[in-house]
Amino acid sequence: MKKLLIALSMVVAFGTAAMAQQPAQNEANEQHACCKNHQTLKQADKPCCNEAKATCAMNEQHQQACCKEGQNQQKDCCKQAQPQHGDCCKEGHHHHFHPHGKAIVCMFEHLGATSTNNGWEQGGFQMERAYLGYQYQFDPAWSATVILDAAQGNNVSIDRVFIKNAFVKYSKNGLTVSAGIIPTVQGTMAENCWGYRYVARSMYDLYGYGNTADLGFNVKYDFCDVFSADFSMLNGEGFRKIQLDNDYLYGLSLTLRPVKGLSIRVYGDLQTQEHDSIMTADTTAYTTARKNLQVFAGYDHKYFRIGAEYNFQFASDYYAGHTATGYSIYATGKVTPKLNIFGRYDNGASKNNSILADTWSYGNNGQNVYFGVDYNVNKVVSLAPAIQYHITPDNSTSLYAYLSAKIAF
């Protein structure tokens, strides 16, 4: 009888201990389920992982279950004790992409005066450009951009509105494809290095060597961090003349970035043009192909930026022997985080080897010197008091002083 009582006492004691441990086991199971299904329990995420941290450290099997939803699990998924959602365990630092867009608003204003033989002549206010558009990123690879360009004509009103850009772009694994009314690659790099489009257009654009936007497509591939190449097929007449014809511009460029901040680019294109009839006495000089060559080099440092470009155009107006050349050198120095000084020198020249010497001339012959100060009032407004000094081929001069403003957000 005594032995039987001892046996019953032991059973009762073990039963009591088991019942006392049951809530703790249930709590562990709940923690396990909480961590296993954490992506659906947002409010419990952080407590779940905080509690699971200690449990995972003590129980390797529980740790594996905690990260069960991911493949190639990283143990830090549980150990970081942070809210985790879905693919956290799969990649360790995956972030879900959310489609987003942004408005594009940019305006260029001028107030200037020109010095002549009769003294200073007031030029008045001028709104040179107003860009209005929208850019939308569908996913990490696909985006679309539409920008309207309103320009002031010969009178004081805004009488010209064009679609400056309207294109889709795909960019992934070093491959970038743009199609539609796209920014042209030959003008973009030099313009970005010059950096003061609201003061003056880059030489490539201002002197008529090409357009900053055109209808067509461009394919670019980054072979590595140092070397990239791109090919474009465009309408050839710019975004102001969107039309269907059999004339195209074919462009190819190579870009080198041998060291950080340094970019070297060589660009060439061939543009064809058909004419139903040629009303000229010099038909032997006529050609259906115009060719461009551009060489650019620029260096961007946190305290300064310098760049240079050389442009050569053969058969400028589709006549053999009509060539135009020009080079531009520019530099920017940072004085303070908000204040920069800049300078630029352009030199344009032309050559005429045809018998049409009396009827053809290149309007951009001569030299231009720009100098000014750029002040960033805030993130939206920039001001640049500047001067432009022009020297014609016959050595006559003119001086233009102006205040430029850029409003962009």
Tell me how many degrees the CA angle 127-129-135 measures, rounded to the nearest 5.
140
Structure tokens at 327: 């080079």
Query: What letter represents residue 319's amino acid?
Result: Y
For residue 44, pLDDT beyond 50: no
Pairing, β 158-172 against β 175-183: antiparallel
Whether 148 and 267 share a structural domain: yes
pLDDT of residue 379: 93
Q: 272, 228, 266: which is closest to 250 by C-alpha?
A: 272
Decide the pairing of beta strands 339-352 and 381-391.
unpaired
Determine the Cα–Cα distance for residues 326 and 366; give it in Å rounded to an integer. 9
**Are the C-beta atoms of 114 and 120 separated by less than 8 Å?**
yes
Q: Quick one: 6 and 105 in the same domain?
A: no
How confident is residue 202, by pLDDT bands cut at 50, 70 and 90?
A: very high
Give the lowest-confidence range in 114-128, 213-227, 304-318.
Answer: 114-128
Residues sharing a CB contact under 8 Å with residue 388, sequence separation 6 or more, in sequence order: 200, 368, 369, 370, 399, 400, 401, 402
Same domain assignment for residues 77 and 120: no
pLDDT, position 125: 77
Confidence category of residue 1, pLDDT binned at 50, 70, 90: very low
Q: Are residues 71 and 153 in the same domain?
A: no
The confidence score (pLDDT) of residue 292 equals 93
- How does DSSP classify residue 87? T
- 15 and 161 inside one domain: no
Q: Is the pLDDT at 331 greater than 70, yes or no?
A: yes
> To which residue do tokens 């010197």 refer?
369
Side-chain half-sphere CA neighbours of 149 within 13 A? 16
3-class DSSP state for residue 185?
A: helix
- If asked whether residues 8 and 127 sit together in one domain, one would say no
Distance (Å, whole) CA 208 – CA 200? 14
* Owning domain of residue 382: 100-408
C-beta neighbour count of 40 within 10 angstroms? 10
pLDDT at 307: 97
Q: In 92-210, where does DSSP find H-type helix?
A: 185-194, 203-206
Domain boundary at 41, 61, 91, which?
Answer: 91
Average pLDDT of every residue of the chain: 76
Domain boundary among 63, 91, 119: 91
| Pair 44, 155 in one domain | no
The pLDDT confidence band at residue 354, using thresholds 50, 70 and 90, is low
pLDDT of residue 287: 65
42-51, 198-207, 239-248, 330-339: which range is least confident on average?
Answer: 42-51
pLDDT grade, residue 319 (50/70/90)?
confident
Same structural domain, 128 and 9: no
CATH at 216:
2.40.160.10
Gap between the Cα atoms of 203 and 200, Å rounded: 9
Q: Which of 91, 114, 133 is the endpoint of a domain?
A: 91
Residues 43 and 128 both lie in one domain: no
Place of tokens 């088991």: 18
| Residue 15 and residue 37 share a domain | yes
The torsion angles phi and psi of 314, rounded to 5 degrees, stand at -100, 135
For residues 131 and 364, which has the higher predicted lDDT (pLDDT)?
131
Angle of CA points 183, 189, 194, to nearest 5°: 115
Residue type, 93: H
Higher pLDDT, 62 or 300: 300
**What's the mean pLDDT in 52-61?**
40
- The mean pLDDT of 56-60, rounded to a whole number, is 40
E strand or H helix that includes residue 28: helix 2-36
Which range has the top average pLDDT, 33-42, 189-198, 241-250, 255-264?
A: 255-264
Confidence of residue 243 (pLDDT cuts 50, 70, 90): low
How much is the pLDDT for 343? 98
Is the predicted pLDDT of residue 250 greater than 70, yes or no? yes
Domain count, the chain: 2
Residues 121 and 204 in one domain: yes
Q: pLDDT exceeding 70 applies to what percent of the chain?
A: 66
Can you tell me the distance from the alpha carbon of 214 to that of 237, in angstroms, rounded to the nearest whole number?
7
Q: Specify the 3-state DSSP secondary structure of 17.
A: helix
C-alpha span between 115 and 125 (Å, rounded): 16
If asked whether residues 53 and 123 sit together in one domain, one would say no
Where do we find the tokens 């340094």? 262
Which of 366 and 142 is assigned the larger pLDDT?
142
